[in-house]
């Protein structure tokens, strides 16, 4: 068996690795050295299944009982960006979307600024067709690289996938390790960077920053916005334990280090019920809820 070169740890509290900042532990956490090492780990007897893939830990809530299996964190080992010329960019799955947006702006590659509004990595953006400010990830994807459950690497065309709103399907039992994006080239770097700064300033003005949050909690229903439905249902500021609905943007749940995952999940359920009662719309979570609940002890 190929010797693993990454970092494997047991029983790791995940608060520092997720933007929700709750402490459910991972049974195992692996940080691969590179794509080849990732393949070796996935294929090894060392790897505990199931696998959970982690970038910056946004849009993810790990329950207080933690995760059984292996959490694979790509942000350190798969973090390269390569300029292929004429707007084509090869990007590893662990690259932060905001970093890619800045990188493209500096080189005059357009239509990438929306990526700065995605608080995660390229791998997560590919997996859910993440979007912001009217842009969506897969609109710019030419091809992707993946690893399968046996550790084998594959390269696939964007045409191999069915893409929808926050939904991607195709090539089952494979996980994204990178992509080639095709952006318009020849733009003015100064103008593109100024536009990016404007978008980030608007985001800071309208969304909660400097406080623990998993990002947007719910998908926008067709023809409407989750935040509008939540606010008009009278839920801004509503609390469950240490978590509450942000007063700044109603589609965010925030806390200051005192919330448990069960507090946040209870608030998600409460929002769904109240919005459905008020508007007849059942909101679908965008945040992924995984792991095991803590036994009550009663």
Q: What is the pLDDT of residues 107-119, one digit of tens each?
A: 999 999 999 999 8
CA–CA distance, 106 with 6 (Å, rounded to integer):
32
Q: Is a pLDDT exceeding 80 seen at residue 298?
A: no
Mean pLDDT of 75-80: 94
pLDDT value of residue 171:
87
In percent, the amount of the chain with pLDDT more than 70 equals 98
Selecting among 88, 166, 203, 288, the annotated active-site residue is: 166
Rounded to an integer, what distance in angstroms lies between the CA atom of residue 98 and that of residue 120?
Answer: 8
Question: pLDDT tens, 199-219?
Answer: 999 889 999 988 999 999 999
Which pLDDT band holds residue 294 (cuts at 50, 70, 90)?
confident
Write the pLDDT tens digit of every residue in 19-28.
Answer: 999 878 999 9
pLDDT score recorded for residue 296: 57
Assign a CATH topology to domain 81-204: 3.30.465
Q: Is the pLDDT reported for residue 272 higher than 70?
A: yes
Rounded to two decimals, the pTM is 0.89
Return the CATH class of domain 208-290.
alpha beta
Res. 231: pLDDT tops 50: yes
Does the domain at 7-73 match CATH 3.30.43.10? Answer given as yes
Catalytic residue among 58, 70, 213, 216: 216
Sort strands 67-73 and 25-31 into parallel, antiparallel or unpaired.
parallel
**DSSP β-bridge partners for residue 181:** 89, 141
Which residue of the set 136, 240, 265, 286 is catalytic? 286
CA distances from 108 to 87, 122, 181, 192, 296 (A): 8, 20, 14, 7, 55
Average pLDDT on 158-165 reads: 96
Which pLDDT score, from 0 to 100, does residue 295 have?
65
Position 4 pLDDT exceeds 60: yes
Sketch the domain layout of the chain as residue ranges.
Answer: 7-73, 81-204, 208-290
The CA distance from 166 to 240, in Å, is 27
| pLDDT range class, residue 243, cuts 50, 70, 90 | very high
Q: How much is the pLDDT for 297?
A: 47
| pLDDT at res. 155 | 97
List all residues 6 or more positions away from 99 whose beta carbon is below 8 Å from its beta carbon. Answer: 81
State residue 96 phi and psi, 5-degree precision.
Answer: -65, 135
166 is catalytic: yes
Cα angle 115-94-113, degrees, rounded to a multiple of 5: 10
């Amino acid at each position: 068996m190929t010797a693993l070169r990454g970092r494997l740890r047991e029983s790791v509290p995940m608060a520092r690795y997720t933007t929700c900042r709750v402490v459910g532990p991972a049974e195992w956490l692996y940080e691969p050295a590179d794509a080849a090492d990732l393949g070796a780990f996935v294929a090894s007897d060392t790897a505990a299944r199931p696998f959970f893939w982690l970038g910056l830990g946004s849009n993810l809530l790990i329950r207080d009982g933690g995760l059984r299996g292996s959490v694979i964190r790509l942000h350190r080992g798969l973090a390269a960006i390569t300029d292929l010329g004429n707007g084509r960019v090869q990007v590893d799955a662990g690259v932060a979307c905001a970093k890619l947006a800045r990188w493209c702006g500096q080189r005059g590659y357009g239509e990438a600024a929306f990526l700065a509004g995605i608080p995660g990595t390229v791998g997560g953006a590919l997996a859910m067709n993440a979007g912001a400010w009217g842009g969506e990830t897969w609109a710019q994807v030419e091809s992707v690289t993946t690893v399968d459950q046996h550790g084998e690497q594959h390269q696939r065309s964007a045409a191999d996938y069915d893409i929808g709103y926050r939904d991607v399907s195709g090539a089952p039992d494979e996980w994204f390790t990178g992509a080639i994006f095709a952006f318009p080239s020849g733009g003015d770097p100064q103008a593109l960077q100024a536009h990016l700064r404007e978008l980030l300033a608007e985001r800071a003005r309208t969304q909660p920053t400097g406080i623990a949050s998993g990002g947007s909690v719910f998908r926008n229903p067709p023809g409407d916005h989750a935040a509008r439905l939540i606010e008009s249902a009278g839920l801004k500021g509503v609390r469950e334990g240490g978590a509450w609905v942000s007063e700044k943007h109603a589609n965010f749940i925030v806390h200051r280090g005192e919330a448990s995952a069960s507090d946040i999940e209870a608030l998600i359920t409460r929002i769904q019920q109240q919005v459905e009662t008020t508007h007849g719309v059942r909101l679908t979570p965008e945040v992924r809820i995984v792991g095991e609940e803590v036994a009550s002890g009663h």
